Structure 1
Amino acid sequence: MKIKAMKWLTTVPVAIAVAVSLAACGGGAAQPTASPTDALKGSDQTALDKYTTKDVTPLDKVDKAALGLITPGTLHVGTLSDAPPNIFIKDGVFTGFDNELLRAVGDKLGLKVEFAATDFSALLAQVQNKQFDMGSSSISTTDKRRENVGFTNGYDFGYMAVVAKKDAAIKGFKDLTKDTRIAVVQGTVQDDYVTNTLQIEPVRFADYNTAYANVKNGQVDAWVAPSQQASGQVKESDNSAIAETIINTQNFTAFAVNSKNQPLIDALNSGLDAVIADGTWSKLVKQWYPDRETPKTWKPGSKAVVLPQG
């Protein structure tokens, strides 16, 4: 597998039918644009400083009564059930890096956290429509998404990967052409990248399991995926592999919140800084990403928080 660090469904008719139905239902599917944005273009931390808060409200100054929660004292969270190691269900319990981090943030704020599964293509609209207090799903904070929903400070950065059969001619992003049948999950950054940057109409699916299943059964040639989710899906026995991974720190990942609920965004930022400062964030990174190195040009939380040494 090549890794680059930059600066900053069982039959063809069924697969096609699923892709057409998903593309037709909207819900965040990417549409071709005149000025595509390259999701893999590198950037440094400075490019994101306009979105990162200078500091946060002290935890003891957070007014829990002003958070506008659906149920006072409880965070109702929309998430996914099939995207390890970030967001998934194990033994009937929602877990993964993102969700365990959010539980730790909730503990700092004295809030109970309740998760419910949804499709990614619907998640941001459900948050903005207040069906959930917030969304936890390794959400890349693109400028386009910021037009419709609010975000906390960043807690992770992005990787994008190409998954294909081991004996396929596709060995990386450069091998993706208009003749390639590319699977994406609808409404994701990967959907936008394939549609608007590569100018290729992808085969859209509702979830990661189905997208990868179609790589394994040969209904698509490749899957452009978040690297973390790709690593959680691909097994040595599958005759598939992560052909290439590229680090993208241009858009950090964050928790999504209704754009008008600034008190909740501020409170979550306070809790996030607290779990970064006490070492919880670093502990969870080591637990869920044991082989990953965090780029030196990136750090989570506000500009004021300091990562513990060691």
Structure 2
Amino acid sequence: MRINRSIRVGIGALAVAAIASACGGGEERSASESAASGQLTVGIKFDQPGLGLRNPDGTFSGFDVEVAKYVGEKLGVAPENITFREAPSAQRETLIQNGEVDYVVATYSITDARKEKVDFAGPYFIAGQSLLVRSDSTDITGPESLNNGKKLCSVTGSTPAQNVKDTYAQDVQLQEFDTYSACVEALRNGTVDALTTDDIILAGYAAQYPGELEVVGESFTEEQYGIGLARGDDETRTKINDAIEEMIADGSWANAFEETVGPSGFPLPEPPTVDRY
């Protein structure tokens, strides 16, 4: 029997759709549904000491990692059943929208532009933008001192470098890399003059290279770190907000911070108030 060509095309399209569905891509998903199956996939940074770091032995450490695990347990998933996936700054919304992760805990500042693409729980931490320079640098003391063609590095998909150019130093030269660790190497070898991002991130790199890199000046923005998840997943957002509040109330938040970020010398701040927008 001959099959009409349009029918063959339709069957082929269904087959492709089925394969895509089986691979887990293409649609935002409810983290609560994933948790009910006993498994979660969480996006974190792999290259931020004290926050989200993939260690040489394949384990993960950092404050964001501890927050992700605490939230996972409150959703009913044991830490050993959480798969961590790298979530570079420029890919965080895409990972959520494609259903490749259930939520993202990756120094993810809550902004109005991002809320058009994903939802946020939190904040679970409030940071401030600052600058990292080589320790032998004497002429960079804050964002205003980056004028006169200084080379400033940050990460594609993040906002700090552009914020400096728009607000403080119009003739700064922006250099963007895929990861902060690449910016750190560029700073160490003299390719750039400074790295800008949030103070808590920079403190981890300064602690990684003591005597070589240091954070300078006062922080000059307020960055509210949220947990990103699929838009419209109100059930999970409520559960995650509850988990953040519990983590703060039972002392786990402060303990996690002291164990992960504390060794860098960054002081324990006041915990944030969860914004249930």
TM-score (normalizing by structure 1): 0.69
Is the Cα–Cα contact under 8 Å of residues 108 and 228 in structure 2 kept in the other structure? Answer: yes
Correspondence for 2:129: 160
Residue 185 of structure 1 aligns with which residue? 155
Aligned 1:1-310 pairs, distance under 5 A: 67-69=32-34, 72-90=37-55, 91-111=57-77, 112-168=81-137, 169-177=139-147, 179-198=149-168, 199=170, 200-234=172-206, 235-238=209-212, 240-246=213-219, 248=221, 250-290=222-262, 291=265, 292-295=267-270, 299-301=272-274
Query: Percent identity among equivalent residues?
Result: 23
1:139 counterpart SS class: coil
Residue by residue, what CA displacement relative to the aligned partner does 1:27-70 show, whole Å, maximum 9, x if unpaired?
xxxxxxxxxxxxxxxxxxxxxxxxxxxxxxxxxxxxxx982439
Read off the aligned partner of 1:209 and give its amino acid letter: S
What's the offset of the Cα at 1:294?
1.6
Distance 1:68 1:171, change over 3 A: same
State how far apart, in whole Å, the 2-side matches of 1:174 and 1:302 are: 32
Change (3 A) 1:88 1:300: farther
Task: Write the distance in 1 (CA, Å) between the matches of 2:136 and 2:122.
Answer: 41
CA separation in 2, counterparts of 1:274 and 1:220? 42
Provide the secondary structure at the position in 2 that maps to 1:191.
Answer: helix
Q: Are residues 245 and 213 of structure 1, via their aligned partners in 2, closer, same or farther at CA, if it must alter by over 3 Å?
A: farther
The structural deviation recorded for 1:158 is 0.9
Q: Please report how far the alpha carbon of residue 129 of structure 1 lies from its aligned counterpart in structure 2 after TM superposition.
A: 2.3
Q: Secondary structure at the match of 1:271?
A: helix
SS in structure 1 opposite 2:191?
Answer: coil
1:237 deviates by 4.0
| 1:302 CA displacement | 5.6
**Following the alignment from structure 1 to structure 2, what is the Cα–Cα distance between the partners of residues 229 and 222?**
14
Q: Distance in 1 between matches of 2:223 and 2:201?
A: 17
Assess if the C-alpha contact under 8 Å between 1:140 and 1:189 holds in 2. Answer: no
Over 3 Å counting, the alpha-carbon distance change for 1:191 and 1:134 in structure 2 is farther
Shift of 1:251: 3.6
How far off its partner does 1:203 sit? 0.3
C-alpha deviations, 1:68-102, integer Å up to 9, x for none?
43983322111111011111112311220011122
Hey, what does 1:10 align to over in structure 2?
none
Q: Structure 2 CA distance, aligned partners of 1:108 and 1:134?
A: 14
CA RMSD of aligned residues (A): 2.3
AA aligned opposite 1:132 = V
Structure 1 residues 146 and 195, CA gap change in structure 2 (3 angstroms) = farther
Take 1:193 and 1:138, find their aligned partners in 2: how far apart are those partners?
Answer: 17
Kindly provide the amino acid, as one letter, of the partner of residue 118 in structure 1: A
Q: Structure 2 counterpart of 1:143, which letter? A: D
Q: Name the amino acid aligned to 2:48.
A: A
> Structure 1 pair 104/162, CA: closer, same or farther in 2 (3 Å)?
same
Q: Which moved more, 1:172-181 or 1:195-204?
A: 195-204
1:110-143 alpha-carbon deviations (Å, 9 max, x no partner): 1242211132211122112222111110111112
Change (3 A) 1:270 1:92: same
Identify unmatched segments of 5+ residues in structure 1.
1-64, 304-310
The alignment of Structure 1 onto Structure 2 pairs a total of residues equal to 235
SS of the residue corresponding to residue 105 of structure 2 reads: strand
The letter of the residue matching 1:294 is P
- Answer with 1 or 2: which has the greater Rg: 2
Per the normalisation by structure 2, the TM-score is 0.77
- 2-structure distance, mates of 1:185, 1:222: 13
Per-residue CA deviations over 1:128-181 (Å, capped at 9, x if unaligned) read: 222211111011111221121110021100122211223331122120115111
Instruction: Report the counterpart of residue 39 of structure 1 in structure 2.
Output: none
